[in-house]
Amino acid sequence: MKRWLMILLLALTGTGWHGLHAGEARPRAENELTEKRLVAISSELRCLVCQNESLAGSNAELAVDLRREIRTLINDGKSDTEIMEFMVSRYGDFVRYRPPLKGSTLLLWFGPGLLFVAGLLALVLYLRRRDRAIKDTPLTAEEQRRAEALLQDQDSRQGHP
Amino acid sequence: MNRFLWPLVGFVVLVVLLAVGLRLNPRDVPSPLVGKPAPAFALPRLDTPDKEFSPKEMLGKVWLLNVWASWCVSCRQEHPVLVELAKRQTVPLVGLNYKEVRGDGAIDSDKVAPGDEKRMVIERAAGWLRKHGDPYTLSVLDVDGRVGIDYGVYGVPETYVIDKAGIIRMKHTGPITPEVFSGRILPLLAELSK
């Protein structure tokens, strides 16, 4: 009984979700290629109102306006690079999710790599120093004697439980 | 001693970085327009909608362009500062009324007939200025927000300081507080007006 109820519920919510989805994802332009390029370009851009959303995914008013603007630019025959330049010249490099490589972004691009190399170097240095410390301090005669005594003691115990 | 030195140095560096990071305002996006000519436009004036205004009319003057709308709550907060500025008559203040009808979440702009929109924009904008005081030398109407995009507007209010050669010298996002006004804008205006 319970299982059937579950299946019924799942089926119901499934159809409900599908129905909603179909209503939302209505293509807005007749040209499918334009829409594909629009999505590709706007996924690379940050929405400045909701800064952790891409322009493709945001419902902010400005995002809607900018998507309309990009659609117009595509229809005007502008290339992706030109559209990117259009956006950057107005909103700065900040709109790009992939910041360009230049003086002010060097640390951003190579900082993590540098940190990794520094960590690796520190690790190697530490291990080498420890290695040397172990090799450089041989046992004294007294320690040697005690170690042997202990080992023999264990041997004898193992021999005669 | 030495064993604790490097972790301590690392910790201090981290604390400094985080402290600086926390103080940064993520809304403060540096505008690429600073140092560039103010984008050209021709928009109808609020007082005489059949006449247009262009930034090139202001060549030779230092002036402020302030983006506002009646639905913008922060604009109400900065408005007294602008009224004060207008009283002192330091520089011309041009208002860019941004998406007066379309930007208002309370209005379903799809249902507004295209012919009605401009009339609504004028009524609402003029009504707001009558109620709160009009600090603007003149205001222009950016009904669809297209000029706003050229200026990189992403949050209202925003203010641009434009010099005699028509170059944008400063952009301020968010309401102008008395501190920002006397601390940053006034000194810049004094320098540019020399």
Q: What is the pLDDT of residue A10?
A: 53
d(CA A59, CA A79): 25
B142 beta partners:
B98
**Residue B49: strand, helix, or coil:** coil
Domain assignment present for B18: no
Number of domains in chain B: 1
Q: Tell me B64's DSSP state.
A: E
Spatial contact of B59 and B164, defined as CB atoms under 8 Å apart: yes
d(CA B190, CA B194): 7
**Residue B117: strand, helix, or coil:** helix
A-chain residues near B150 (CB < 8 A) = 90
The pair of three-digit structure tokens given for residue B29, joined into one six-digit string? 């996006």
Q: What is the pLDDT of residue B109?
A: 74
The fraction of chain B above a pLDDT of 70, given in percent, is 99
Domain assignment present for B7: no
Domain assignment present for B71: yes
Q: Is residue A86 classed exposed, middle or buried when 0-12, 13-18 and 19+ CB atoms within 10 A define those classes?
A: middle
Q: Is A48 touching B (CB cutoff 8 A)?
A: yes
Using CB atoms, pick whichever of B102, B103, B152 lies closest to residue A91: B152
Nearest C-alpha neighbor of A95 from the set A54, A62, A124: A54
Q: Is B29 touching A (CB cutoff 8 A)?
A: yes
Mean pLDDT calculated for residue range B115-137: 92
Contact A48 B154 (CB under 8 A): yes
Domain assignment present for B1: no
Summarised one tens digit per residue, pLDDT across range A44-101 is: 999 888 888 899 988 888 899 999 999 999 999 999 999 999 999 999 888 998 888 8
Q: Is B156 touching A (CB cutoff 8 A)?
A: no
Amino acid at A75: N
Mean pLDDT calculated for residue range B71-82: 93
d(CA A55, CA B149): 14
Contact A90 B149 (CB under 8 A): yes
Mean pLDDT calculated for residue range B28-49: 91
d(CA A67, CA A41): 9
Domain assignment present for B157: yes
A-chain residues near B41 (CB < 8 A) = none
Domains delineated in chain A: 31-100 (1.10.8.640), 105-159 (no CATH)
**Residue B94: strand, helix, or coil:** strand
Spatial contact of B163 and B38, defined as CB atoms under 8 Å apart: no
Spatial contact of A58 and A47, defined as CB atoms under 8 Å apart: yes
Contact B26 A51 (CB under 8 A): yes
Res A104 pLDDT > 60: yes
Domain assignment present for B58: yes
Angstroms from B63 CA to nearest CA on chain A: 20
d(CA B28, CA B26): 5
CATH number for the domain including B102? Answer: 3.40.30.10
CA–CA distance from B57 to each of B44, B82, B90, B153, B194 (Å)? 14, 22, 18, 22, 20
CA-atom Rg of chain A in angstroms: 33
Range of the domain at B88: 32-193
Q: Is the dihedral of CA B136, B137, B139, B140 positive or negative?
A: negative
CA–CA distance from A67 to each of A8, A45, A134, A151, B98 (Å)? 40, 10, 65, 79, 18
Q: Is A51 touching B (CB cutoff 8 A)?
A: yes
The pair of three-digit structure tokens given for residue A21, joined into one six-digit string? 């989805």
Domain assignment present for B175: yes
Summarised one tens digit per residue, pLDDT across range B3-36 is: 788 889 999 999 999 999 898 877 777 788 999 9
